Amino acid sequence: MGIIFSLLGLGNPRKRLVRSLRGKTFIIPDLESIFHHWPYAVNPEVDRLKKELNQRMEQYFSGNMLRKMQQADAAVFGASWWPYASYDTLYVAACLGLWLFAWDDETDSVEISTMLNDSERGAAFRQETKDFIRQFLVPDSDHSISKNPIITNFEVVGVAIRDACTNSQRETFFRELEYFIDMVDEEQKVLLSGRLPTVEEYQRRRMGSGAVGVCLAITE
């Protein structure tokens, strides 16, 4: 923390911090030992899931986005996270993971995003997303049409949640998605400002932009 505070007010603190850390060595704790008591398995439907997710990715993505999504191997990710789920449930949950990864990259990936440095376009994209997902999860919402495949890729998840969950569960899921979107918005604003957040600010924002609550809600 001393390094962070010593850099505040001296040019761009973010860039200065990056330069001060470049070339340093950091020891990451053995996370496997920390979570050794957690169940570990891979859903036996992983091969079927991989085939269907690849078809879905080719339908919704292209270019660098398609390549990145294929490299991420969303099927193994989903099959490892939900190893005991039925296939239909697994597919919906894995599609959510796929949507989260692609949607997030649309605004913050240096490699992919065309709105990384455009806060107005980013805000419009996020509002369009909220309007689109609200129609599936919030009762009596107006129908919203989007032509953006990164956004409409959510439909399979929204329909499944709408048809299988209670009003309370749907509203909880929507609130978590809304919080995720709002914190991604805040993340872009902080990035463009060049300032360094406090540890408390970062933790609050990251719990949202990391989609922690969204993933817990879909697991329920």
Residue 109 or 187, more confident: 187
The pLDDT, as a whole number, for residue 61 is 86
CA 104 to mean position of chain CA atoms? 5
- Domain range summary for the chain, segments of one domain joined by +: 2-219
SS3 40: coil
Homologous superfamily of the 2-219 domain (CATH): Farnesyl Diphosphate Synthase (1.10.600.10)
Percent of the chain surpassing pLDDT 70: 95
How many beta carbons lie within 10 A of that of residue 96, not counting itself? 26
DSSP code for 11: S
Report pLDDT digits (tens) over 20-74: 889 989 888 888 888 888 888 999 999 999 999 999 999 888 888 888 888 888 8
Is residue 5 pLDDT above 70, yes or no? no
Is residue 175 pLDDT above 70, yes or no? yes
CA distance linking residue 140 with residue 131, whole number of Å: 13
Tokens of 46: 């992983």
